[in-house]
Amino acid sequence: MRTQNYSRKRQAIYDLMLSTQEHPSAEWIYTKLKPEFPDLSLGTVYRNLKLLEENGAIRAVTVISGSEHYDAIMTPHPHFICNLCGKIQDLPAKFLLPELTSVKRIRGVGQIDLTSLIYYGCCEECSDENKV
Amino acid sequence: MRTQNYSRKRQAIYDLMLSTQEHPSAEWIYTKLKPEFPDLSLGTVYRNLKLLEENGAIRAVTVISGSEHYDAIMTPHPHFICNLCGKIQDLPAKFLLPELTSVKRIRGVGQIDLTSLIYYGCCEECSDENKV
DNA sequence: ATTCATGCAAACAATTTGCACCCTG
DNA sequence: CAGGGTGCAAATTGTTTGCATGAAT
C-alpha cells in the first residue's frame, strides 16, 4: 500500500460511502459532494475510489449499465440488483451460505480470494409501479 | 422478441459461442470470425451479442477490465475468474447449491430472475507462473 | 524540500448509433 | 417490396492520464 497523505476530499468520499445505503458510482459521489466541494473534479473521485479499493477500504460490486458501483461494507454478503432500475440492495450475510464462503480453493481451478453472489431480478418498487 | 431474419453472421457468432470454452468478449469474437468473414464489422458483433442475449440464447457473465464477457451455456452454474489473467472458467453446477437457486423471491426485496455466483482468485496457471 | 493530491482537459477504450445499401422472406 | 441486417464512421460514455499547481508532512 503506497504511503498517503491526508486528504479532506478522500475522507469525504469514504465518509459518504460509509453513510449511505446506496452502492455509489463515481458520478453519484461527485454529484453529492460537489455542493460541499465546489472545486471537486470527477478525476479525483475516480482516483480516490481506486485508491480506497486498493487499500481494502471499499470493494467494487459490479458494473451496471456501464458504470462501476462500490460498497463500503466489507463483511461478505450478497447483493440484489434490480434489472429495471439498477438499484443494488445488500442482503443479510446469512444469504451467503457458509458452504460457499468456506471454499478457499478449487482443485484444478485456483485459489479463491473473494466470493461474489448477486441475485438479479425485479425489486418491489419496480414491480409495484408496473402493476399500476 | 422482435421478429428476425436469418443471418449467416449471427449464426456464426452463436456457433462460435457454443463451440468454445472461452467466455468471449465482442472483440474476441470479431477477431476469430474476421478471417472467415472479411467484411465483418465490430458493430455487427455488438448488435448480435445484444440480440442473442435478449433472445435468451446467451448470457452476460460480467465485465472484466472494461469489456463484457458472454456465456452460451444457459444451465445455471458458477464461474471462477482469475484476477491476474482475467480468464473465466465454468464451475460444475453442483457448486451452485440448490439452497441458492431455489430462492425465487426475497421478502421486502424482490423477485429473482437469475443467480450469479462468481469466485474471484488466482488460477492455477497464474500461480504456477508466479512461483517460477 | 519532497512527496502526495487535485483540477483541468485531453486521451482512451468499449460500446452505440445514424445512414445508405444489401439481403431475406 | 417491406423490414430486417450490416459496414462504416462518427458519436457517446465511463474512465484514465499528463501536466502544472497547491497541500501535507
Phi, psi values for residue A120, rounded to 5°: -110, 140
- Report the distance separating Cα A14 and Cα A63, nearest Å: 20
Asked whether A71 and A59 are in contact (CB, 8 A), the reply is: yes
Find the helix or strand (DSSP H, E) in which A59 lies. strand A59-64
On whether residue A3 sits in a domain, the answer given is no
- Report the distance separating Cα A73 and Cα A75, nearest Å: 6
B89 in contact with chain A, both atoms CB, cutoff 8 A: yes
Q: Give the domain-ending residue among B26, B46, B71.
A: B71
Q: Verify that B12 and B56 share a domain, yes or no.
A: yes
On whether residue A58 sits in a domain, the answer given is yes
pLDDT in tens, A9-33: 999 999 999 999 999 999 999 999 9
Find the helix or strand (DSSP H, E) in which B130 lies. helix B124-131
Q: Verify that B22 and B55 share a domain, yes or no.
A: yes
Which nucleotides in chain C lie less than 7 Å from some protein C-beta?
3-10, 13-18, 23-25
C1' of C8 to CA of A13 (Å)? 20
Q: Verify that B90 and B108 share a domain, yes or no.
A: yes
- For A52-62, letters b (16+ CB in 10 Å) and e give beeeebbeebb
* Mutual angle of helices B26-33 and B42-54, in 10-degree steps: 120
pLDDT in tens, A51-105: 999 999 999 999 999 999 999 999 999 999 999 999 999 999 999 999 999 999 9
- Decide: CB of A111 under 7 A of nucleic strand C: no
Indicate the number of domains in chain B. 2
Q: Give the domain-ending residue among B53, B71, B89.
A: B71
User: Residue B122 corresponds to which cell in the numbers above?
Assistant: 488466482
Domain that holds residue B61: 8-71
Q: Verify that B83 and B33 share a domain, yes or no.
A: no
Q: Give the domain-ending residue among A71, A95, A118.
A: A71
